[in-house]
Amino acid sequence: MNYMSKTILVTGSSGLVGSAIQKISPLYDYKFIFSGTKDCDLTNYEKTNAYFNKERPDIVIHLAACVGGLYKNMNNKVQMFEQNLLINYNVLKCCHNIGVEQCICVLSTCIFPDKTTYPIDETMLHNGAPHCSNDAYAYAKRMMEVHCAAYNEQYGTNYSCIIPTNIYGPYDNFSLEDGHVIPSLIHKCYLAKQQGAPFEVRGTGAPIRQFIFSQDLAVLIMESIGRLKRENMIIAPDDEYSIKDVAIMIAQEYNYEDNIVFNSIYSDGQYKKTASNTKLLEMFPKFKFTPIEQGIRESVDFFKYNYSNPNCRK
């Protein structure tokens, strides 16, 4: 294969994972098109179709989504459901329209059933309802997996879904209300220290999660091109950490670990989502994940350096 002749379109390229792919893209012999909301409104089919016909990529890495943390999912269910349905429908249909050779879509482990056995694996995606805290988002993402499978079965396309655990890193959304747990806690601890106030963590801190550094995910996505064939794959490290563990690691980066308080009035969400990485390690047996302490340090440093940029805190 002459890779230089292949064009990769990355949707949602200004976000957390898209930015990580941009950073490593010079290492790969492809032509890249990095697409964000300013380039195309993916909720609009006519605009999306015109954009895909203009760019005509060979490969699509579909990252674009309406995303947020626990409380955004709980408080904006209609928005989370409708926007993600529209984005995913339009992207997959336009991939088919122009004959894309491979499409890699990104799901999330939060879409797995709430009532299940652990560890979760790729076969268990539709074995029950997701947790009520993010059911609207989860069902929209599940439908993308169904859509990919339907295209593969009927038209012989090569559409796959990767399912990463909680992603964090530079270029994240550090919003206090809408961000995922690590970036929102990084922001909250920064403000607490500035104000000399307690670093309050919503919930008990008991839930446990697997966290993946965005740079690791970017590498694994790129290395999956040409190797992932009409299949789903969970991307997760072995280690799990409680929210309390994460809060302490973040506070240590600010030398503020003696000022943490946990507010149990707030919901913890789903207690655990332990996901199997057996399939991933069969494909990439030598891959080394970034230690979470290093990833949090880089994320805190990025946030502090970019704090004056309002887009970092939106």
Catalytic residues: 137
Identify the helix (H) or strand (E) that includes residue 295.
helix 292-305
Q: Which residues of 25-54 are buried (b: 16+ CB within 10 A; e: fewer)?
A: beeeebebbbbeeebbebbeeeebbebbee
DSSP-assigned beta bridge partners for residue 234: 163
Contact status, residue 208 vs residue 184, Cβ threshold 8 Å? no
The residues, any chain, with a CB within 8 Å of residue 153's CB and separated by 6 or more, are none
Torsion angle, CA of 250/261/311/108, rounded to 10 degrees?
70
Contact status, residue 166 vs residue 228, Cβ threshold 8 Å? no
Q: How many whole angstroms separate alpha carbon 101 and alpha carbon 112?
A: 28
Structure-block tokens of residue 248: 């302490």
Structure-block tokens of residue 41: 């409104």
For the chain, the C-alpha Rg in angstroms (whole number) is: 19
The residues, any chain, with a CB within 8 Å of residue 27's CB and separated by 6 or more, are none
